[in-house]
Every structure is written in C-alpha cells, then in structure tokens.
Amino acid sequence: MPSLYRGLLAASAALLLAGCAHSLPRTPVARTPVPPATDGDWRDFPVDRTPRPIVLLGPVAKHAGYTSDEAKVAAVSGNLRLDTPLPAFLPGPRPVALPDGTRELPLIGAQDAFAELCAHPDVKTVEQTTPLRITRVELGSTTFATDRGQVELPAWLFHPVDALGPIAWPAVGPEVFWRAGAVPPTTLGHAALDPDGRTVTVELPAPGPPCPGEPITRSEPVTTSTRETVTIALRTVPTGAVAHAEKGECISDMMLRTARYPVTLDAPLGNRVLLGEQGGVYAVQVKR
C-alpha cells in the first residue's frame, strides 16, 4: 500500500474518533474567548458598519434538548465525540436576510465549526460524563436570538445521540458577529419599537403595593444615550400620597412585578444597541 494512501487512511481514522479533547487541524478563526459584555464594551461597537454586526444573545450553540441529564451535561460542557467524518467541503458565501437587508456573508467549514463548538462550551463543569457521540453532520439553517429578534442563519448541524435534535453552530464567519457568546440578554423580555424608530416600549420592574403608612411611589423610565447605545433604567418618584393605615402586619413578598413602559428616545434607535440598567441587551422587535 503506498505510504501516502496509508497516511490518508490514518488521518481519516483519527478524525473519525476525534472529540473536543483532541486538537483538530483547522484554519485560523477570528473569534477569541471574551468575558461578558459591560457598558464600556460597547464604545467600540461599529454602529455605522454595513452590514451591521450580528449581536447574538446568550450562548452561541443552540440545543434542541436531550433525553437524559448526562447527555445534556456533556453537550453544554462541550464533551463531544465525533463518530462520523466531517464534511470536507468549504461552503461559499450565502445571501442571508438580516434586519438591515439581505447580505452575502462568508461561511466556515464543518471542521472550523466543530472546533469552535468545542472551544466555547455553554458552561464549564468538572462533572465527569461520557462524551456525547455525534453521528451525523450537515449544513442547514437555524434561527438564532439576536438583539434585533430571531434571525435565520446558515448553520452546521451536529446530530448527537440521546438528543431531541441537532446542536446548531452558526456557519457564518465569526467576523460577522459582535462578541459572540458574551452578550447577555435582559431578564425581562423584548422591546417593541414603533415604526417611527423613536418610541420603544420596554418591560421593567413595577413597584409592589406599599405597606400601610408608607409613601406611595411610581416608577418612570429614564434613558442614557451614546453614539452606540441607549440604556433604559427606572427611577422612583414619590406621588405625595400615603398608603391607607390598617391594623395588622404588612408582609412584603418577593414576587417580581413588571409593567410595560413607553419611552421616547432622543433620536431614532437606528443601529444602536438597547440596554437594560443591569447591562443586559434587549431583543428589539419593530412593530409593523
């Protein structure tokens, strides 16, 4: 058997058995590990870039669910094992419908996508699990949560055993994203933007009922604007009234109450990022 052929067979066998603990050969990818975003991190956001960078919310990998806790822990911690060859072709650029228009975006191959998936687990855990076997890999598409709503992107789909569906990793080149995997969403939901681009309705905490004798307050939103961001927070405003005094104890519960607040911005939101006061990013839906 020629030595070159034996070498190719050996490489194919090694790739077939490769997992996240192994180092797969790959082309350089621009994404590097980054800490969670903070207010200051947005000062370099390229608000005028065309196309606007895709701001993914939360972890990059999208999971369909698992039939066992062990499979779930292995998947989200990146303990994966390839039991099938990775597709060798490198896909060319594809047109993708983005919130600011359809753009032709570069794609990455399955090998780079798997390496990225392994390098960026959702959580880091010391719990020992059996590697989750990946039995099929294909190029498809999946919707991902962004700060401009759900966006359908080309994705490499890694089909594991004991799963309700594939693990999806964006097939779009990492240079298209902004701090992928490091942008936390707000905990309170979405924001609705009027067609005028300046009126946004957001969900924020609402004050609970006051105890007898306490002053009655109301909450109102305040905004802080920069060239790159708009941050919406709440301030407490006294109404001048006092809660009616009654006999008995007043028990404060821990229930989170929310209300929807309309806010008029200083200028159209445009490509700016909408932040909550804790630094989380809103998913903005434009009203039609």
Residue 254's Cβ-count burial label (10 Å; 0-12, 13-18, 19+) is: exposed
Cα(57)–Cα(148) distance, rounded to whole angstroms? 10
Cα(212)–Cα(244) distance, rounded to whole angstroms? 5
User: Which strands sit side by side in the sheet containing 273-276, from one edge to the other?
Assistant: 215-225, 229-242, 273-276, 281-286, 185-193, 199-205, 258-264
Please report the sign of the dihedral spanned by the C-alpha atoms of residue 240, residue 236, residue 271, residue 286.
negative
Joined tokens for residue 182: 């490091």
What are the per-10-residue average pLDDT scores of the chain (288 residues)? 36 48 41 47 92 95 95 92 96 94 96 93 75 97 96 98 97 94 87 95 83 78 94 82 66 77 94 92 90
In Å, how far are 103, 165, 168, 201, 254 from 63, measured between CA atoms?
26, 7, 7, 30, 32
Instruction: Give every CB contact of residue 131 below 8 A, 6+ residues apart in sequence.
Output: 19, 20, 21, 74, 79, 80, 81
Q: How many helices (H) and strands (E) does the chain have?
A: 3, 13
Residue 282's Cβ-count burial label (10 Å; 0-12, 13-18, 19+) is: buried
Task: Specify the pLDDT at position 40.
Answer: 58
Task: Specify the pLDDT at position 199.
Answer: 96
- What pTM was computed for the model? 0.81
Task: Specify the pLDDT at position 250.
Answer: 72
Task: Specify the pLDDT at position 34.
Answer: 43
Joined tokens for residue 281: 């990013």
- Helix H or strand E segment including 169: strand 167-170
Q: How many residues does the chain have?
A: 288
Cα(7)–Cα(9) distance, rounded to whole angstroms? 5
Nearest to 220 by CA among 239, 245, 196, 195: 239
Joined tokens for residue 228: 């790159």
Task: Specify the pLDDT at position 30.
Answer: 38
Joined tokens for residue 38: 């903070």
The domains of the chain are located at 14-19+35-176, 185-245+256-286
Task: Specify the pLDDT at position 240.
Answer: 65
Phi and psi at residue 213, to the nearest 5°: 90, -15
